[in-house]
Amino acid sequence: MSDQTAPVKSTLTVTIDNITIEVNPGTTVLQAARMIGGDVTPPAMCYYSKLEGSGGKCRTCLVEIAAGSAKDPRPMPKLQASCRTGVMDGMVVKNITSDKVPEARAGVVEFLLLNHPLDCPICDQAGECHLQDLGYEHGHEGTRFDFKRRTFEREDIGPHIQLHMNRCILCYRCTYVADQLTEGRCHGVLDRGDHAQISTYISKAVDNDFSGNMIDVCPVGALTDKTFRFKNRVWFTKPMKAHRNCDTCCGEVTLWNRGEDVLRVTARKDQWGEVANSTKDGKTGWICNTCRFDKKKTSDWVIEGPMQIDRHSVISQGQYMKQTAVDETVSKVIGRSPKLLMDIHSISDVNKD
């Protein structure tokens, strides 16, 4: 006789790349992998934890399900999109331990790059582009695509944002931002298949307080900040944590400085490259267009200090957090402080201090 009184398990056990964790029901495989962190986490080009409904478009997060659940331990016949696959109790998942995933992911990269121009040397997103990182880590060298890439004219959508559709990978994130953060979305994906493109409906400008967040969620250089375009390479800039009192948004940002100049203002990003939660209320720290586009003086901000960039891409290489002062070598060489060289006033009657 079955035990009707056995307590219902409130958490689910999942094993990803031989690491077992407990998660709450409703957790996806990708979310579980992010809880473990590190290399176990599949890349995600369209899923964005802060945007409802995102995911399931790009297939970069494919994983192998080696056992469906404890009750039905058969492997799933095809690789699954981890951002859209819910954890089942006893599920066994392979990401970096799978021998099928790397080949499949290389195929996805090849598809994403079929029409994407290889213009990283002149693209503003270079250095912080998720597709660049994905191609580097999971792609094959070279291309087998001999046909002409599809091309579009650049389009100004609103006063601050330029759409370079050639680079768009149709992840839909920007349409979710427009839907969920702003009133009256007026852009979206037009047409289908090879003709699909992001565009403003009858060229209506996207102009509302939070439209700039579309730039932050775009994983490639398709949506760029017109106030920053071609101003600098991102790895030459210094990211600084800053905040201001803003009535519209949380006012917590990253300033991308060159010397004293604020070249760009963005929302703060977390380790997954997503907009981080605000320290004020724990909600997503989306920022308004006034903070992003109009506050370009250091004096507009309270600077908190250097921003730690967790991403593995080139922007995290330009760290200056542990900079040390250069050794003062003159005193070492001459064996005393360089009084006569540097400070003649105390022994000279000619010049006053």
Site residues, ligand FES (CB under 6 A): 44-47, 55-61, 81, 83
Which among ligand FES, ligand SF4, none contacts residue 44 (Cβ within 5 to 8 A by kind)? Answer: ligand FES
**129 exposed, middle or buried (CB, 10 Å; 0-12, 13-18, 19+)?**
buried
Looking only at the bridges linking them, the beta strands covering 12-16 and 91-94 are parallel
Q: Which of ligand FES, ligand SF4, none sits in contact with 87, Cβ below 5 to 8 A by type?
A: none
Q: Contact 253/265 with Cβ under 8 angstroms? A: yes
> Which residue ranges make up the site for ligand SF4 (CB under 6 A)?
168-174, 198, 217-220, 222-223
Q: State the minimum distance, in angstroms, from the CB of residue 62 to ligand FES.
A: 8
Work out how close the CB of 214 gets to ligand SF4 at its nearest, in angstroms, rounded to a whole number: 6
131 contacts which partner out of ligand SF4, ligand FES, none, CB within 5 to 8 A by kind?
Answer: none
Closer by beta carbon to ligand FES, 57 or else 296: 57
| Nearest distance in Å: CB 36, ligand FES | 17
Q: How far is the CB of 167 from ligand SF4 (least distance, A)?
A: 7
> What span, in angstroms and rounded, lies between the C-alpha atoms of 308 and 238?
10
CB closer to ligand SF4 out of 172 and 301: 172
Task: Residue 48: name the closest of 309, 269, 288 by CA.
Answer: 269
Residues in a beta bridge with 28: 86
CB nearer to ligand FES: give 127 or 273.
273
Interatomic CA distance for residues 352 and 63, integer angstroms: 75
H-assigned helices in 78-159: 101-112, 130-138
Contact 263, 257 (CB under 8 A): yes
Half-sphere exposure of 164 (CA within 13 A, CB side): 20
> Out of ligand SF4, ligand FES, none, which partner does residue 57 contact, by CB within 5 to 8 A per kind?
ligand FES
Q: Which listed option, ligand FES, ligand SF4, none, makes contact with residue 29 (CB within 5 to 8 Å by class)?
A: none
Edge-first strand listing for the sheet containing 261-267: 261-267, 252-258, 238-243, 302-306
Shortest Cβ 164–ligand FES spacing (Å):
21
CB of 257 to ligand SF4, least distance (A): 25
Tokens 């730690």 belong to residue: 308
Q: Which does 47 bind (CB under 5 to 8 A by kind): ligand SF4, ligand FES, none?
A: ligand FES
